[in-house]
């Protein structure tokens, strides 16, 4: 079993997250170099890369034996979760970062032997830090978040999803998703998966579905949401891999069953 000093790694990671966030905040109005990746809407900026490089250098100089799984290419070629692995999205919500200059986050998780030990999601412009250590509850800044209350029914609940999943697409049958959207009280879409997990943890939204999230989009949020009793799995019911893209559903444990009637048991293709 790998030795893991949860408290000291948490303190170090927190310092780096706040520092990286302060750098982004102080340059928010500077002109951006915006490139595209897989398609014209898949944006990346110099700040995404610079921030990830900042973490990679800091982690490598402090913890030589740890590995990094991250979005922008400064990490390692991680094929398993043995030992200590930092899972990092330097800016989650790059489209918001570029277009809106708000509602984006640094997402950083630390896993040990496949178990999520530490999660940070930092809403940079709001200077709001969501954080959790496994087994010790989840926090929004200094405030401990309450455990999830009794489950609502689907009809009383708010669902987060990207409306793209209601349109014909290659990944999932869109008709049952539309049925689900018509069943819930309302839908929300915030443009940052990491923050969407934190809104679940705060109890201000009730469920989240997305069909192609990467480990760095979800790792920290899953750690945080789990601490208040939330559940996240693949839409097939399988465990998350935290190694490649997974279709995910995240909610109160009772609500998850109701949702999977729509997206898995009946119709998932
Ligand atoms: C994206 C955001 C977005 C989600 C996309 C992600 P990025 O991350 O989390 O909410 O819908 O699937 O790729 O690219 O801004 O880090
Ligand atoms: Ca991206
Ligand atoms: Ca992301
Ligand atoms: Ca990103």
Give me the pLDDT at residue 267, please: 47
With a 6 Å cutoff on the Cβ, whether 160 touches ligand 1 is no
79: its two tokens: 């094929």
Give me the pLDDT at residue 264, please: 67
Task: Output the residue whose Cα is nearest ligand 1's atom 16.
Answer: 92
With a 6 Å cutoff on the Cβ, whether 137 touches ligand 1 is no
pLDDT in tens, 137-154: 999 999 999 999 988 899
Give me the pLDDT at residue 237, please: 86
Give me the pLDDT at residue 83, please: 98
Q: According to the annotation, is 35 in a ligand binding site?
A: no
Most ligand 1 atoms within 8 A of CB, residue of 93, 124, 189 to mutate: 93
With a 6 Å cutoff on the Cβ, whether 223 touches ligand 1 is no
Q: Rounded to the nearest whole angstrom, what is the distance from the C-alpha of residue 95 to the centroid of ligand 1?
A: 8
With a 6 Å cutoff on the Cβ, whether 162 touches ligand 1 is yes
The domains of the chain, with CATH numbers, are 6-144 (3.30.540.10), 154-266 (3.40.190.80)
Distance between CA atoms of 150 and 84, rounded to whole angstroms? 35
Task: Output the residue whose Cα is nearest ligand 1's atom 15.
Answer: 93
Three-class secondary structure of residue 199 per DSSP: helix
Give me the pLDDT at residue 257, please: 85
Q: According to the annotation, is 71 in a ligand binding site?
A: yes
Could you give the angle at which helices 215-226 and 193-202 cross, rounded to 10 degrees?
A: 10
pLDDT in tens, 252-269: 998 998 998 888 654 444
The edge-to-edge listing of strands for the beta sheet with 105-112 is 67-70, 84-92, 105-112, 115-123, 128-133, 138-140, 143-144
Look at residue 207 and tell me whether its pLDDT is greater than 50.
yes
Look at residue 112 and tell me whether its pLDDT is greater than 90.
yes
11: its two tokens: 């303190």
Local confidence band at 229 (pLDDT 50, 70, 90 cut-offs) = very high
Q: Rounded to the nearest whole angstrom, what is the distance from the C-alpha of residue 12 to the centroid of ligand 3?
A: 22
Q: Rounded to the nearest whole angstrom, what is the distance from the C-alpha of residue 150 to the centroid of ligand 3?
A: 30
Cα atoms found within 13 Å of the Cα of residue 17, Cβ hemisphere only: 31
The closest of 23, 49, 15 to 125, measured between CA atoms, is 23
Give me the pLDDT at residue 262, please: 87
Look at residue 171 and tell me whether its pLDDT is greater than 60.
yes
Q: According to the annotation, is 92 in a ligand binding site?
A: yes
Most ligand 1 atoms within 8 A of CB, residue of 34, 213, 245 to mutate: 213
Give me the pLDDT at residue 268, please: 46
- Cβ neighbourhood burial of 178 (10 Å; 0-12, 13-18, 19+): middle
15: its two tokens: 């310092």
Could you give the angle at which helices 6-26 and 46-62 cross, rounded to 10 degrees?
A: 150
pLDDT in tens, 27-49: 999 999 999 999 999 999 999 99
**ipTM for the complex shown:** 0.98
Give me the pLDDT at residue 269, please: 43
pLDDT in tens, 55-81: 999 999 999 999 999 999 999 999 999
Distance between CA atoms of 258 and 234, rounded to whole angstroms? 14
């Amino acid at each position: 079993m790998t030795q893991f000093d949860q408290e000291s790694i948490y303190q170090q990671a927190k310092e780096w997250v706040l520092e990286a966030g302060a750098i982004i905040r102080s340059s928010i109005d500077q002109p951006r170099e915006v490139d595209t990746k897989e398609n014209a809407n898949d944006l990346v900026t110099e700040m995404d890369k610079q921030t990830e490089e900042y973490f990679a250098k800091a982690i490598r100089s402090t913890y030589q034996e740890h590995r990094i799984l991250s979005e922008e290419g400064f990490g390692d070629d991680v094929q398993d979760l043995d030992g200590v692995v930092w899972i990092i999205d330097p800016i989650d919500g790059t489209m918001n970062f570029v277009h809106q200059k708000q509602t984006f986050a640094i997402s950083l998780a630390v896993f040990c032997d496949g178990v999520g030990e530490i999660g940070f999601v930092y809403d940079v412009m709001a200077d709001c830090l969501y954080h959790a250590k496994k087994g010790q509850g989840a926090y929004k800044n200094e405030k401990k978040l309450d455990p999830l209350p009794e489950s609502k029914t689907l009809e009383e609940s708010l669902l987060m999803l990207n409306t793209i999943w209601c349109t014909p697409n290659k990944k999932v049958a869109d008709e049952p998703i539309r049925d689900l959207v018509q069943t819930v009280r309302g839908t929300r879409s915030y443009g940052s998966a990491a923050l969407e997990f934190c809104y679940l943890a705060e109890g201000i939204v009730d469920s989240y579905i997305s069909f192609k999230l990467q480990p760095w989009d979800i790792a920290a949020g899953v750690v945080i949401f789990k601490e208040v009793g939330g559940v996240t799995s693949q839409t097939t019911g399988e465990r998350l891999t935290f190694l490649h893209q997974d279709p995910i559903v995240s909610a109160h444990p009772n609500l998850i069953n109701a949702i999977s009637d729509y997206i898995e048991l009946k119709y998932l293709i």
